[in-house]
Chain A
Amino acid sequence: MSEMQGSPAPATAEEIEARAAEWLVKKHAHETWKSEDQAELDAWLAESWAHTTAYWRLSAAWNCTDRIGALRPAHLRRGEASARRNWRTVIRIAAVFVAAVSLAAVGAQYFAAPREKTYATGLGGREVVTLSDGTRIELNTSTVLHIATGTSDRSVTLDKGEAYFEVTHNAAHPFTVMADGHRITDLGTKFLVKNDPGRLKVSLVEGLARIEFANEPVKANGNLLKPGDVAIATADSISVSRAPERRLKDELAWRRGVLIFRDTTLAEAVAEFNRYNSQKLVIADADAAGRKIGGTFTTSGVERFAEVARLVLGLQVRERRNEIFISTDQHAE
C-alpha cells in the first residue's frame, strides 16, 4: 500500500540523497537556474515522497548555515537580491581581497570560541569577531581591540581605531567597552565606537548604552545614550548630541566597504580616505579643502575619488610617489 505504483525502479536512499544534493547545489550555487530547471526539479520531487523528503532534509541543513552567513557583513552576502548586483560588482575586488587575506583568520574565529585575544586590523583592513555569546564586533581599518579573559566578565578594550558592536544583551553580565579612559556599558545595543587620539565618539544605532569615565564607579543614571545619540568624550568632558538617522547609516557604510559623502568638505573626505589607504591624498590649499563633494566610493577608491575631484570640481590633481595632491587651478605650477 505504501509502495509507489508505477514509479521508476526504486533507487536506494543513498542514490536518492545524492541526486537531491545535486539538485540543491544546482539550484542554490549556480547562477544559471531557469524556470525549466525548476519544472524539472518539481517533476523529480513529485515522483516520490522519498525524493521530496530527501530534498527537504538537505535544504534544511543547507539553510541552517544561513545563520552563520548572517553573521558576516552584508557586503559579503551576495546573490540575495538582484538590486545589490550593481554595488556588488563595484566592491567585488575589495571584497575578494579582504576575504582572501582574512579567510583563514575569519574561519578560525567562526569555528572556535575566542579566548583571551587581541584583534588587530591593518590599514584598509576590516574584520568581524563573533564572541561565544553571539556578540558581534566589526573592526574597521587600523584598529586594535583587546578581549579580556574571564568568562563572566564581558569586557573589551578598544585601544585604537573604530569598531561596530552588536551586543547580545545579558543584564546579569553587562557588556562593556573600555576606550580612551571611558567605559561604555551595553544595555541592549548596537553601537559604533571610534577612538581618535584624545577624542572618543560613540554613536548609538539601536537599544541603549551608558557612557562614563572609566575611573568613576558605575552609575545607573550615567550618560544614557538612545538611538541617534552621538557622544563625544574627551579626557575631561562628555557631550551628547543627536544625529539624523541617515548620517548614522553613512557612518556605518565602511561595514560594506564603502565611504558615503553628502555635502562633505574635501578636507573631511580626504581624511576619511587616508584612514584606509597607504596612498595618501593631500589637499594643497584652503580653497580646495573647503569644496564640497558627495558620492559613494569604495574605501580603497582613492584614484577614483581624485578623478571625481578633477572632473566634477575642476581641481588640479597631481600624483607624486605615494601621494596625490589636489589643488585649485591657481596653485598649479
Chain B
Amino acid sequence: MAETPETSRDNTNPRLSGAAMSTPDLEIWFVREVLPLEAALMRFLRHNWRDKSEIADLRQEVYTRICEAARREIPHPPAKPFVFAIARNLLADRIRRNQIVSIEAVADLEALDIAVDQPGPDRNTIARDQLRRVQAALDRLPPRCREAVVLKKIEGLSVREIALRMGIAENTVDAHLTAGVRALADMLYGDIADLQGAP
C-alpha cells in the first residue's frame, strides 16, 4: 500500500501533514539538541512535581509539546530556554487543572528561572564523553541483557544467532534487547546518568 515506505511518514499522518518542516530534520534536531537536555529536564521535573510516578508521563508530554511547537520552525539555538519554557508551562497547566495544588510546586515554579540557568552538561561535553558514557552504560546493564546487546550491536549477530549462542529462546533475546535499549536510553539521556556518573 505504501509505495515509498521509507519516506511516507509525513504523508500518512493527517496531524503531521501540515508540518512545514520534514520529520527527518525535526528528528535530527530533537536528538542533537533536546535529548542531551533530558537529564536536566528530569531533574527539573522531579524537583517540581510531587508525584514521582507521573514524571515519565510529564517528560513525554514535554516532548510532545516541543515537537508540536518546533515542527513549523525549529527554534534558534540554544534549545535550553525553549525546552524549559515548555516544561514550565506544562507544569503550570497541570497545576491549574488539578485543584490539588502543591504549595512547594508553586513556590518552585516561581524560582524556576534560576533552576534553568544552572549549568548542566553542555552538548560538547556530552559529545566528547559520549563514547565513554556508552561504554559505561553498557557495562551497567544486567549481564545477560548486556551479552545480548553486545552480540547484536558489536558482534552484529541476528536474533536467531544470539538465541543459539546464548542458548535461549528468540523472544527472550527480544526481551533482553528491548530492556537493554530502554536502559541505555535512560543512562545516556536521563538523570540516572547524572546520579551514577557523578564522581
Measured CB to CB, the residues of A under 8 A from B are 2, 4, 12-14, 16-18, 21-22, 24-26, 29-31, 35, 38-39, 42-43, 45-50, 52-54, 56-62, 64-69, 72, 76-80, 96, 99-100, 103, 107, 110-112, 134
Is chain B's interface secondary structure helix, strand, loop, or mixed overall?
Answer: helix
Residues of A within 8 A of B2 (CB): 35, 38-39, 42
- Check if B35 is an interface residue, CB within 8 A of chain A: yes
- Closest approach, in angstroms, between the C-beta of A127 and any C-beta of chain B? 14
Asked whether B130 lies within 8 Å of A64 as measured between CB atoms, the reply is: yes
Q: Are B156 and A78 in contact (CB under 8 A)?
A: yes
Contacts of B15 in A (CB 8 A): 4, 46, 48
CA distance A33 to B131 in the complex (A): 29
CB-defined contacts of B65 to chain A, threshold 8 Å: 2
| Chain A residues within 8 Å of B174, by CB | 22, 25-26, 29
What is the count of residue pairs linking A and B with beta-carbon distances less than 8 angstroms?
A: 163
In whole Å, how far is B165's beta carbon from the nearest beta carbon of chain A? 7
Question: Is the pair A69, B154 in contact by a Cβ cutoff of 8 Å?
Answer: yes
Whether the pair A67, B178 counts as a contact (CB closer than 8 A) is no
Which of the residues A12, A57, A66, A110 comes within 8 Å of B185, measured between beta carbons?
A: A57
Asked if residues B188 and A61 are in contact (CB atoms below 8 Å), the reply is: yes
**Docked complex Cα distance between A4 and B12 (Å):** 16
Bin the interface of chain B by size. Answer: 35 or more
Tell me whether A13 and B57 are in contact (CB under 8 A): yes
Across the interface, name the chain A residue whose C-beta is closest to B143: A107
List the 3 closest A-B pairs by CB distance, nearest first: A46-B13, A78-B156, A61-B185
Chain B residue with the shortest CB-CB distance to A43: B12
B9 touches A54 (CB 8 A): no
Among residues 165 to 192 in chain B, which have CB atoms less than 8 Å away from a CB atom of chain A?
Answer: 165, 173-174, 177-179, 181-182, 184-185, 188-189
Q: Are B182 and A58 in contact (CB under 8 A)?
A: yes
In the bound assembly, the distance between CA atoms of A21 and B185 in angstroms comes to 10
Asked whether, in the complex, the Cβ of B68 is within 8 Å of the Cβ of A69, the reply is: no
Report the bound CA distance from A69 to B155 in whole Å: 7
Which residues on the A side are within 8 Å of B189 (C-beta)?
A: 57, 60-61
Residues of B within 8 A of A96 (CB): 161, 165
The answer to whether the Cβ of B152 comes within 8 Å of any Cβ in the partner chain is yes
Determine if B185 and A60 form an interchain contact, defined as CB atoms under 8 angstroms apart.
yes
